[in-house]
């Protein structure tokens, strides 16, 4: 069988890539996408651990994560739409109302 | 055989994410991410979690990503937005990513020894998952349903047009 | 019965507290009643305690009531405890008795004042502080009272604080007092070092037990005396008392005649064992007292302000009291304190009555011939003047005589000579005052004359009471010549004040001394008569012949100016320099610098608040990395 460690490393790679992409991209939608990528990477890690610990709890957790991600995506996208309507742009640099 | 599938899926998923980074078009980015998710679903299957794999495809790749595509369609941008070009932010992000990666590897040190190979166990069938879900994790289950309702209502309220207010003017 | 003595200070204290909180909302009538009743109640309790005292054997003195442990810091303990013994009894009776009379007088005198409540609140507060002073059983509590009366003096002198001169006078009094207090504090410190406690009982025991050598005793006695010099207006810290006349007249009567200024004398009498142990200190006290007495009397000769004459007279009489204590006749000093309280407050209140009748005029050059207009004020004023001059059979005679005789008997002839000379001057300037005010030509301002009226009974009745006491108060301490053991006063004080072994004079010597002082007093009165009634031109001629001397006396020997130039101005200049260089630059600089630094850091940090999610997420991630790193490594 494929050793669990491979999955873990893959999960780490995906997560870091997602994080890196988050900082590199300049528009909101794509950044949001990267967050989803990170979440999925975490899912992978959970499943891998569940397998190695022979318990199904990890998979249950993944169910919940997916659910939460769905809810979050819905609301987040609604917000992005509103912001676009207001500012006519989705460049994240333009969202600086909270500039101190 | 399993190794081969694993490496295939792994490389494709990583490649998809990298492609997503370099793509200027948002729709293309979304599509690449869908590809990555499908590969992940395959990996889930490899890990004796068939149910989760299917869920991933239906819900994640299917519903959530379609949602994204709809929004991308509605925000009809003519020109794509290129990724960050400035040197120092790029470099900083690079460094941070690197450090994070190293730390993650360290954190997961314990699991890196081949001895901790997976035990051949029964795959996660819906029956087993359901049993767990409704007994041990009943509470979170119920709360998640509340969460979904909240998200539903929230999303609807947010984009509702304020017709009544305008007509009164 | 005597056990209730500890509430004596508390009643006026409570009244003062009530007045300070509610005073402005209470009607004037109520304030008068409350304030006066409070003091009267204290007086009643004092009388009761006094009577109780007589029934207790002498070994039980002093009675102590410990109210609260208060200070307990390592070895240093000072309790809130009051004591009651003959000396305290005398002081308490004087303070509350004369205080009560003056409070009643003030009802009339301050009737039109807009800060009526504040006045009575301050007066009650003063009574409270003074009683703490005389009833404290240790030096620390006495010092609390000491400072308290200083504070009330400041408040009451500057009562009409809108007037610049009054505000300044209040400040001057407080500051000069403070200088004395520095010496007092040092004395207390030394006492603690050598005795280990500041309780009077402990101190007396230590002295008796030989724990204090003569030189140490001298040092401590002199340091404490510095405090007395400030509080009781002796040379060189007397300068605040004449200016203190800016306050309302009842204040001058109560504080600067009868009670507060006598605190120094009380202190010396209370510490009498110490002063006796150190012969040098006693001598110095006597000499300072004598010189001050004479010096002040010379200045009283030329003043035209009726209250200033009385102020210098007070300084002079205080000198007498210190003379008495200095030569070892502490009982005589306290005796003079007691009689002086009556006739000096009488004189002040009567002067107040005159000023009230004349709508506030206090320049004697604008008075004259008032005796037909003020039929009730004049006789009592005259009685006061006679008493202070030492004319026989009034109280002043007995007390002054006791002091002079003791001075002579203990061999302090210089003191005695100065005392006699001062007696002449005292009689002279007092009767100068009487003649200028009540006799001779009327030099009144026509406007003033129109409103001329005798004072209301609420003011004249207290005067009459005081006059009565000015006559009879002396009979409790008759000198030896009239018979042995007639000195009830001295005997009463004996348990507290060890009867000094004075060299007893032969009866004939005593008689000669008495007759001599009487003659001297009458001579002074006669001289005043010549100067101001018979040949009114005489003062004018003398001034013309000795213009320099007159100028010197009239300008109070220019002492105020000297102090101002040598002490006040350099201090002020010095403070300005310190202020400019240290206060502004260093302290303000530090405070501003701190603020600037904070601002700088704030600005620096605000660069991180770009409002962009990306940056925030970056910092977030950074935090996570650091945390992970911390946990892992």
Q: Which of C236, C422, C242, C245 is CA-nearest to residue C321?
A: C422
CA separation for the pair B81, B24 (Å, rounded): 6
Please name the residue that has the structure tokens 């703490």: C132
Q: Which of C266, C241, C268, C401 is CA-nearest to residue C338?
A: C266
Q: Which of C474, C438, C464 is CA-nearest to residue C380?
A: C464
Are the beta carbons of B52 and A47 separated by less than 8 Å? yes
Is residue A11 assigned to a domain?
no
Portion 23-62 of A in contact with B at CB < 8 A = 23-27, 29-30, 32-34, 36-37, 40, 43-44, 47-52, 54, 56-57, 59-60, 62
Residues C432, C533: contact at Cβ < 8 Å?
A: no
- Please enumerate in sequence order all residues whose Cβ is within 8 A of that of C274, keeping only pairs 6 or more positions apart, or say none: C203, C207, C212, C217, C220, C221, C224, C281
Percentage of chain C lying above the pLDDT 70 cut = 97
If you measure CA to CA, which chain C residue comes closest to B95? C622
Are the beta carbons of C614 and A23 separated by less than 8 Å? yes
What's the pLDDT score for residue C85?
85
Largest CA distance in chain A: 54
CA separation for the pair C201, A60 (Å, rounded): 87
Spacing of C-alpha A48 from chain mean position: 18
Secondary structure class of C73 (helix, strand, coil): strand
- Please enumerate in sequence order all residues whose Cβ is within 8 A of that of C216, keeping only pairs 6 or more positions apart, or say none: C190, C194
CA separation for the pair A93, C576 (Å, rounded): 57
Residue A83 near chain B (CB below 8 Å): no
Is residue A96 assigned to a domain?
no
Is residue A4 assigned to a domain?
no
Q: Which of C610, C629, C633 to mutate to test the interface with B (most CBs of B within 10 A)?
A: C629
Half-sphere exposure of A22 (CA within 13 A, CB side): 26
Give A93 to chain B, closest Cα distance, Å.
11
**Burial class of residue C380 (count of CB atoms within 10 Å of its CB; 0-12, 13-18, 19+):** buried
CA separation for the pair C290, C234 (Å, rounded): 10
Residues C287, C375: contact at Cβ < 8 Å?
A: no
Taking only the tens place, the pLDDT of each residue in B112-165 is 555 445 455 566 678 888 888 888 889 999 999 999 999 999 888 887 766 544
Residues C458, C107: contact at Cβ < 8 Å?
A: yes
Using a CB-CB cut-off of 8 Å, the residues of chain C touching A23 are 614, 617-618
DSSP string, C471-509: HHGGGGS--GGG-TT--HHHHHHTTTSPPP-PPPPPHHH
Q: Rounded to the nearest 5°, which phi and psi values hold at C393? A: 80, -5
CA separation for the pair A34, A28 (Å, rounded): 10
What's the pLDDT score for residue C208?
80
**Assigned token pair, A82:** 């509103």
Taking only the tens place, the pLDDT of each residue in C481-515 is 666 666 677 777 777 776 555 556 677 777 888 88
Are the beta carbons of B93 and A23 separated by less than 8 Å? yes
**Assigned token pair, C81:** 């405890």
How many other β-carbons are positioned within 10 Å of the β-carbon of residue C129? 25
Residue C629 near chain B (CB below 8 Å): yes
CA separation for the pair C311, C304 (Å, rounded): 12
Is residue A12 assigned to a domain?
no
In the predicted structure, residue B167 carries a pLDDT above the cut 50: no
Are the beta carbons of A36 and B64 separated by less than 8 Å? yes
Taking only the tens place, the pLDDT of each residue in C163-190 is 888 998 998 889 899 999 999 999 999 9
In the predicted structure, residue A99 carries a pLDDT above the cut 80: no
In the predicted structure, residue B89 carries a pLDDT above the cut 50: yes
**Assigned token pair, C290:** 């004598």
Using a CB-CB cut-off of 8 Å, the residues of chain B touching C622 are 96
Are the beta carbons of B99 and C632 separated by less than 8 Å? no
Preceding amide of C578 cis, omega within 30: no
- Please enumerate in sequence order all residues whose Cβ is within 8 A of that of C228, keeping only pairs 6 or more positions apart, or say none: C180, C184, C234, C263, C264, C265, C267, C268, C322
Nearest to B117 among A1, A17, A84 (CB): A1
Residues C353, C426: contact at Cβ < 8 Å?
A: no
In the predicted structure, residue C541 carries a pLDDT above the cut 50: yes
Percentage of chain C lying above the pLDDT 90 cut = 22
Are the beta carbons of C625 and B107 separated by less than 8 Å? no
If you measure CA to CA, which chain A residue comes closest to C607? A100
Using a CB-CB cut-off of 8 Å, the residues of chain C touching B103 are 625, 628-629, 632
Residues C354, C385: contact at Cβ < 8 Å?
A: no
Counting DSSP H helices and E strands in chain A, the numbers are 3, 0
What average pLDDT does the structure give for chain B? 81
If you measure CA to CA, which chain C residue comes closest to B94? C618
Using a CB-CB cut-off of 8 Å, the residues of chain B touching A49 are 111
Is residue A53 assigned to a domain?
yes
Crossing angle of the two packed helices B26-46 and B65-74, in degrees rounded to 10: 180
Using a CB-CB cut-off of 8 Å, the residues of chain B touching A4 are 111, 116-118
In the predicted structure, residue A68 carries a pLDDT above the cut 90: yes
Report, as an integer, the average pLDDT of C113-139.
Answer: 91
Domain that holds residue A85: 26-91
What's the pLDDT score for residue A1?
66
For residue C293, what pLDDT band results from cuts at 50, 70 and 90? very high
Are the beta carbons of B17 and A5 separated by less than 8 Å? no
Residue B107 near chain C (CB below 8 Å): yes
CA separation for the pair C480, C478 (Å, rounded): 7
Using a CB-CB cut-off of 8 Å, the residues of chain C touching B96 are 618, 621-622, 625
CA separation for the pair C487, C475 (Å, rounded): 9
Secondary structure class of C187 (helix, strand, coil): helix
State the CATH number of the domain containing residue A67.
Answer: 1.10.287.3510
Residues C339, C477: contact at Cβ < 8 Å?
A: no
Residues C354, C370: contact at Cβ < 8 Å?
A: yes
If you measure CA to CA, which chain B residue comes closest to A50? B47
Greater pLDDT, C153 or C364: C153
CA separation for the pair C187, C236 (Å, rounded): 19
CA separation for the pair C428, C553 (Å, rounded): 15
Is residue A98 assigned to a domain?
no
What average pLDDT does the structure give for chain C? 85
The mean-pLDDT minimum among A57-61, C75-79, C167-171, C532-536 falls in C532-536
CA separation for the pair C207, C202 (Å, rounded): 9
Q: Which of A39, A48, A43 is CA-nearest to residue A6?
A: A48
Please name the residue that has the structure tokens 């006026």: C12
For residue C548, what pLDDT band results from cuts at 50, 70 and 90? confident
Are the beta carbons of B112 and A8 separated by less than 8 Å? yes
Is residue A83 assigned to a domain?
yes
Are the beta carbons of B36 and A37 separated by less than 8 Å? yes
**Sign of the CA dihedral running C571, C574, C576, C578:** negative
Portion 74-133 of B in contact with A at CB < 8 A = 74-75, 77, 81-84, 89-90, 92-94, 96-98, 100-101, 104-105, 108, 111-114, 116-121, 124, 128-129, 132-133
CA separation for the pair C563, B97 (Å, rounded): 80
If you measure CA to CA, which chain B residue comes closest to C622? B96
Spell out the alpha helix ranges (H) of C503-554. 507-529, 538-545, 547-554
Report how many domains make up chain A. 1
Taking only the tens place, the pLDDT of each residue in A12-41 is 999 999 998 888 888 888 889 999 999 999
**Burial class of residue C26 (count of CB atoms within 10 Å of its CB; 0-12, 13-18, 19+):** middle
If you measure CA to CA, which chain B residue comes closest to A76? B155
Residues C150, C131: contact at Cβ < 8 Å?
A: no
Rounded-to-10 torsion of CA C113, C115, C117, C119: -80
Length of chain B: 169
Complex confidence, ipTM: 0.89
Q: Which of C616, C623, C628 to mutate to test the interface with B (most CBs of B within 10 A)?
A: C628
Secondary structure class of C358 (helix, strand, coil): coil
What's the pLDDT score for residue C500?
55
Spell out the alpha helix ranges (H) of chain A. 4-24, 28-53, 57-87
**Sign of the CA dihedral running B63, B66, B72, B74:** negative
Q: Which of C373, C377, C378, C396 is CA-nearest to residue C386?
A: C396
Using a CB-CB cut-off of 8 Å, the residues of chain B touching C621 are 96, 100
Give A20 to chain C, closest Cα distance, Å.
10
CA separation for the pair C155, A17 (Å, rounded): 80
Q: Which of C122, C60, C68, C62 is CA-nearest to residue C86?
A: C62
If you measure CA to CA, which chain C residue comes closest to B92? C618
Using a CB-CB cut-off of 8 Å, the residues of chain A touching B52 are 43, 47, 59, 62-63
What's the pLDDT score for residue B87?
66
CA separation for the pair A98, C610 (Å, rounded): 7
Give CA separation, C481 vs C390, C409, C477, C504, C511, in Å: 17, 14, 11, 11, 7
What's the pLDDT score for residue B78?
64
In the predicted structure, residue B169 carries a pLDDT above the cut 50: no
């Amino acid at each position: 069988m494929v050793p669990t460690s491979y999955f873990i490393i893959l999960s780490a790679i995906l997560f870091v890539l997602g994080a890196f992409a988050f900082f590199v991209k300049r528009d909101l939608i794509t950044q949001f996408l990267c967050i989803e990528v990170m979440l999925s990477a975490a899912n992978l890690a959970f499943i891998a651990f569940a397998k190695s610990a022979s318990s199904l709890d990890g998979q249950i957790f993944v169910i919940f994560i997916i659910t939460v991600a769905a809810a979050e995506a819905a609301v987040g996208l609604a917000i992005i739409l509103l912001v676009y309507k207001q500012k006519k742009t989705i460049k994240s640099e333009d969202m600086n109302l909270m500039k101190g | 055989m399993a190794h081969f599938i694993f490496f295939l899926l792994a490389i494709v998923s990583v490649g998809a994410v990298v492609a997503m980074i370099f793509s200027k078009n948002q729709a293309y980015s979304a599509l690449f991410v869908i590809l990555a998710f499908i590969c992940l679903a395959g990996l889930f299957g490899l890990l004796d979690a068939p149910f989760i794999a299917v869920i991933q495809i239906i819900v994640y790749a299917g519903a959530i990503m379609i949602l994204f595509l709809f929004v991308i369609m509605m925000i009809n941008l003519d020109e794509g937005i290129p990724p960050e070009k400035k040197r120092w932010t790029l470099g900083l992000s690079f460094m941070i990513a690197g450090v994070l990666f190293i730390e993650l590897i360290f954190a997961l040190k314990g699991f890196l020894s081949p001895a901790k190979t997976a035990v051949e166990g029964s795959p996660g069938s819906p029956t087993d998952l359901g049993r767990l879900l409704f007994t041990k994790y009943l509470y979170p289950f119920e709360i998640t349903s509340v969460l979904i309702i909240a998200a539903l209502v929230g999303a609807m309220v947010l984009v509702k047009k304020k017709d009544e207010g305008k007509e009164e003017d | 019965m005597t056990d209730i003595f500890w509430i004596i200070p508390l009643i006026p204290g409570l009244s003062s507290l009530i007045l300070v909180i509610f005073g402005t909302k209470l009607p004037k009538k109520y304030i008068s009643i409350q304030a006066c009743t409070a003091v009267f109640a204290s007086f009643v309790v004092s009388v009761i305690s006094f009577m109780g005292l007589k029934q207790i054997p002498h070994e039980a003195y002093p009675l102590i009531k410990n109210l609260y442990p208060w200070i307990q810091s390592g070895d240093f303990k000072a309790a809130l405890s009051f004591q009651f013994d003959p000396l305290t009894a005398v002081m308490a009776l004087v303070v509350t008795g004369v205080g009560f009379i003056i409070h009643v007088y003030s009802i009339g005198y301050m009737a039109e004042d807009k800060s009526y409540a504040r006045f009575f609140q301050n007066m009650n507060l003063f009574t409270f502080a003074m009683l703490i002073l005389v009833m404290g059983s240790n030096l620390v509590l006495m010092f609390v009272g000491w400072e308290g009366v200083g504070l009330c003096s400041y408040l009451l002198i500057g009562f009409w604080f809108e007037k610049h001169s009054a505000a300044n006078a209040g400040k001057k009094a407080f500051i000069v007092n403070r200088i004395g207090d520095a010496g007092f504090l040092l004395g207390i410190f030394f006492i603690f070092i050598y005795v280990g406690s500041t309780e009077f009982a402990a101190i007396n025991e230590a002295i008796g037990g030989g724990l204090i050598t003569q030189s140490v005793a001298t040092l401590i006695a002199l340091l404490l005396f510095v405090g007395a010099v400030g509080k009781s207006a002796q040379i060189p810290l007397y300068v605040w008392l004449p200016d203190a006349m800016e306050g309302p007249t009842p204040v001058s009567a109560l504080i600067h005649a009868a009670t507060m200024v006598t605190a120094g004398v009380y202190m010396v009498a209370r510490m009498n064992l110490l002063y006796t142990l150190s012969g040098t200190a006693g001598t110095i006290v006597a000499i300072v007292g004598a010189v001050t007495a004479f010096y002040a009397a010379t200045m009283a000769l030329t003043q035209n302000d009726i209250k200033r004459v009385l102020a210098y007279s007070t300084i002079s009489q205080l000198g007498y009291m210190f003379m008495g204590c200095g030569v070892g006749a502490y009982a005589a000093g306290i005796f003079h304190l007691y009689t002086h309280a009556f006739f000096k407050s009488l004189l002040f209140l009567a002067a107040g009555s005159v000023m009230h009748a004349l709508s506030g005029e206090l320049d004697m050059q604008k008075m004259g011939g008032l005796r037909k207009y003020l039929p009730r004020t004049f006789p009592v004023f005259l009685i006061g003047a006679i008493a202070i001059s030492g004319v026989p059979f009034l109280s002043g005679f007995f007390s002054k005589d006791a002091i002079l005789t003791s001075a002579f008997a203990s061999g302090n002839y210089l003191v005695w000579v100065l005392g006699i000379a001062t007696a002449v001057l005292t009689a002279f300037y007092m009767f100068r005052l009487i003649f200028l005010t009540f006799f001779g030509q009327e030099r009144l301002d026509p406007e003033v004359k129109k409103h001329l009226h005798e004072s209301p009974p609420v003011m004249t009745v207290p005067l009459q009471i005081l006059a009565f006491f000015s006559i009879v108060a002396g009979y409790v301490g008759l000198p030896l010549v009239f018979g042995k053991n007639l000195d009830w006063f001295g005997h009463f004080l004996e348990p507290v004040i060890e009867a000094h072994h004075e060299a007893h004079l032969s009866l004939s010597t005593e008689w000669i001394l008495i007759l001599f002082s009487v003659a001297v007093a009458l001579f002074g009165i006669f001289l005043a008569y010549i100067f101001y009634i018979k040949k009114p031109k005489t003062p004018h001629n003398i001034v013309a012949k000795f213009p320099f001397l007159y100028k010197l006396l009239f300008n109070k020997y220019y002492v105020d100016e000297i102090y101002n130039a040598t002490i006040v101005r350099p201090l002020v200049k010095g403070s300005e320099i310190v202020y400019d260089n240290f206060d502004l630059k260093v302290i303000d600089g530090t405070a501003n610098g701190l603020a600037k630094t904070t601002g700088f850091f704030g600005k620096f940090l605000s660069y991180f608040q770009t409002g962009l999610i990306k940056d925030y997420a970056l910092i977030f991630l950074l935090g996570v990395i650091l945390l992970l790193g911390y946990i892992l490594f």
